Structure 1
Amino acid sequence: MPEMTFTVQWPDGRIQSCYSPSLVMHDHLAIGQEYSVADFLTRARTALTEASERVKAKFGMYCTSAAEQLHEIEKAAALHSPTSAVRVVAMVPATVSGGAR
């Protein structure tokens, strides 16, 4: 599966590099776009769930790395006001696919 990383900047300026087992993030987020924390969390949850479903369809199991990444995003989001802005800094496909995790 084509994996990718996406980088976000939280309202406090902290940069977070995130993992997705699928390029589906491009369907839900755009580079340079700002989203409210609440909207970003919804979009990330939807995209990472969809990515994990794609892994399950291909490999017969959900992607634990996608679930862990969502957990990390949820923890970071809880530190900020739901109306604060999160900016998508980058979205980069991985150069080598490691398959399901």
Structure 2
Amino acid sequence: MPAMHFTVRWPDATETRCYSPSLVIKDYFAPGSRYPLPDFMRSVREALHIASERVRAKYGFACSAAMDQLADLEQRAARWGDDPQQHIDLVSFDE
């Protein structure tokens, strides 16, 4: 199963390199695109859950790294709440 990394830029201009055990992230985001924070979080939750379930289907267990990544993103996003005026930039995909 091809894993990938992707880099996001937060409203405060910090960047985070993130992990997905599946390329499904590409179905939800595009490099160079900007997303309202609530939309980004909704999509990344769905994508990382799908990625984790793909691992379960192949190996018989969910991907804890995907869920750890989601927890980290949730924690970072909490700084801005659900403010749709805040945006996340998808900087790059790193396969």
Q: Which bracket does the TM-score occupy, shorter chain normalised?
A: over 0.9
The equivalent of 2:67 in structure 1 is 67
Q: Distance in 2 between matches of 1:92 and 1:13?
A: 19
Q: Taking every aligned residue pair, what percent have the same amino acid on both sides?
A: 44
User: 1:80: how far off?
Assistant: 1.5
Gaps of 5+ in 2: none
Gaps of 5+ in 1: 94-101
Q: Distance in 1 between matches of 2:9 and 2:31?
A: 11
Aligned pair 1:90/2:92, yes or no? yes
The CA deviation string for residues 2-60 of structure 1, in whole angstroms up to 9 with x for no partner, is 00000000000010000000000000111011001100000100000000000000000
User: 1:61: how far off?
Assistant: 0.2
Following superposition of structure 1 onto structure 2, how do residues 49-68 of structure 1 map, counting pairs within 5 Å? 49-68=49-68
Q: Distance in 2 between matches of 1:27 and 1:46?
A: 11
Q: Supply the RMSD in Å over aligned alpha carbons.
A: 0.7
SS, match of residue 79 in structure 1: helix
The equivalent of 1:43 in structure 2 is 43
User: 1:92: how far off?
Assistant: 1.4
TM-score, structure 1 as length reference = 0.90
Structure number with the higher helix fraction is 2
- Alignment: residue pair count: 93
- Deviating above 4 A after TM superposition, structure 1's stretches of 4 or more consecutive aligned residues are none
